[in-house]
Each structure stands twice: as structure tokens, then as C-alpha cells.
Amino acid sequence: MARQPARSRKPGLVVIGGTRAQRALGAVWLVGAGPGDPDLLTFRAFNALRGADVVVHDGLVSEEILDLAPSRARRINVAKRKSRHTLPQDDINQLIVALALDGLNVVRLKGGDPFLFGRGGEELAACRAAGVECHVVPGVTAALAASASAGAPLTHRGSAQAVTFVTGHAAHGEPDLDWTSLARPNQTVVVYMGVSTAGLIAERLVAAGRAGSTPALIVENASRADERRVLTTLASLAEAAQSVKGPALLMVGEAMAMAEVQSPPSFEGRGDREAADAALRRGGEFK
């Protein structure tokens, strides 16, 4: 039987097979966007953004950083807020995998660092399970930016021999933390997502033995133009946190007495500042 002539096709189109299995796979880049200031973005993150076909981003990623992606790149906002998620995490995992399986170069743009309370590990695992190539690009986490801008070192000889990052948020009930360990003096405890539970965190730390007079710093919108710092004490942390509206970090420890703030609500006079400096020098309590 004679072969039937092929139907005419539009010029410039080549059909290889038309199935996903025969299509070249894309890749996923888990990129840390840092705390918001574009100047804190790494070169590798910038290069990943410039090569993106689609950017799946958190709500806290600044517009200045999103604008670094090519104009042709599709943006998908998967913002998460307390009790209000655009997409559940499992759906985000499936989304980035599906986009990569469709042959797209996917940048999953996450505030801060992907592996520090960013659920990057879950997204990496999903990519691996699907056989999708996945690259991880570290970012400047908010604690580092907040510490640097406030001039309050996370570690400091004589007053902070260790630093611990914890989350103040738990899916159900209070966070499962080793309060006794966190209450030891001469260390810095950085609490992510802890504003709404500041009272509980302070209560648990004091009950476990941390002095209520320990300096505590709240940094709201770290690294951004509207960054705000509140210097207080562990005993007054809950009250101070009530004035915070945006995303913020709680930082507790003797070294936080070094923080520079515009209008400190607790260290109101020169005597209080001198007392804080003295506490820092002796690695003891602020009284």
C-alpha cells in the first residue's frame, strides 16, 4: 500500500513525539532571596533568576528582586501567611515538579535561606522522588541581616558563646523546644515566626531559668527601608511584641545589649544604657 502523504504543518513547528516522557526535562533551583534588600542577593541567585522560565515565589520576596527575572518569565505567587496559604506545601511541591517535567527552568524563590525554616528540604525531596534535577542556592537569612544592621553580634566573646535558631510557630500547640537548654546564659536565641507567641516564649525561658532582665531585641522587616528595632528585656518581650505588625525576629541574649535603636522603649536613660553595657562586659545579667 502506498504511504499516504503527510499533512501539511505550519512552518517552524517540529513535532518530536508530543508526550511528556519524550520531552527534555527542566530543572528546579531552590534560591534564597535573602531578607529583602536586593544588595544582599548572591551572584549565584542573580544568575539563576536571569535564567528562569518561571519563578515560584514567596510573598515576602521584594518586587526589586522579582524584577531581576526576565520579563518573559512567568511569576507564580505562593505566598503564605498565618492561617492563610495561597497553596498548601504539598501543592507547591507538586507544582514545581510538574513545571520542571514540562521542560521549564523553575526558580523557587524563597525569602532568606531555603534550608532555614524555609521548607526547602521538603521541596528538594519532592524533586528527587520525581527524578527532577534540583539545585540549592543559599541566601542571607534574616537573623544575619538583623544582627548586622543593628550592630548586635549573634556570638561575642564573653557574652555569647553559642547561637541557636528556633521557630516560635508550631502547627498544633506550642513549639516543642528544649527550654532548659535555651535558658542557659551567655548564648543568643533567635526565634523565627515568634511574634504571636512572644509571651509564651518569654514565659517558658524564664521558667527554665533565663533571667527576665536578659536583653531582647525585636527586628521588624530586617534589611528593608522600613526596618524597625525594639530593644527590651525578656520580661518585657510580650508587651514589646504587641507593637510589631510586619514579619519580625525575636533575638534574646546578653549580646543584644549592643544593638543600636532609634528610640529604645526600655533602655530610656543613660543609666540604663550604661547598665546594659556593663552586663555585656561581664557576660552577666542586665539589671
How do residues 118-159 score in pLDDT, each as one tens digit?
Answer: 999 999 999 999 999 999 999 999 999 999 999 999 999 989
Residues labelled as active-site residues? 58, 80
The whole-number pLDDT of residue 183 equals: 97
Burial of 86 (0-12, 13-18, 19+ CB in 10 A): middle
Q: Which residue has the higher pLDDT, 264 or 89?
A: 89
According to the 3-state scheme, what is the secondary structure of the chain? CCCCCCCCCCCCCCCCCCCHHHCCCCEEEEEECECCCHHHCCHHHHHHHHCCCEEEECCCCCHHHHCCCCCCCEEEECCEECCEECCCHHHHHHHHHHHHHCCCEEEEEECECCCCCCCHHHHHHHHHHHCCEEEEECCCCHHHHHHHHHCCCCCECCCECCEEEEECCCCCCCCCCCHHHHCCCCCEEEEECCCCCHHHHHHHHHHCCCCCCCEEEEEECCCCCCCEEEEEEHHHHHHHHCCCCCCEEEEECHHHHHCCCCCCCCCCCHHHHHHHHHHHHHCCCCC
Chain segment 223-239, per-residue pLDDT in tens: 999 999 999 999 999 99
9 — pLDDT class (breaks 50, 70, 90): very low
The whole-number pLDDT of residue 170 equals: 73
For helices 120-130 and 89-101, angle between their N-to-C axes, nearest 10 degrees:
40
CB-based burial, 42-66: b 16+ in 10 Å, e otherwise: beebeebbeebbbbbbbebbbeebb
Q: Is the pTM of this model over 0.75?
A: yes
212 — pLDDT class (breaks 50, 70, 90): very high
Chain segment 18-33, per-residue pLDDT in tens: 445 556 889 999 999 9
Please give the mean pLDDT across all residues of the chain.
Answer: 86
The whole-number pLDDT of residue 224 equals: 93
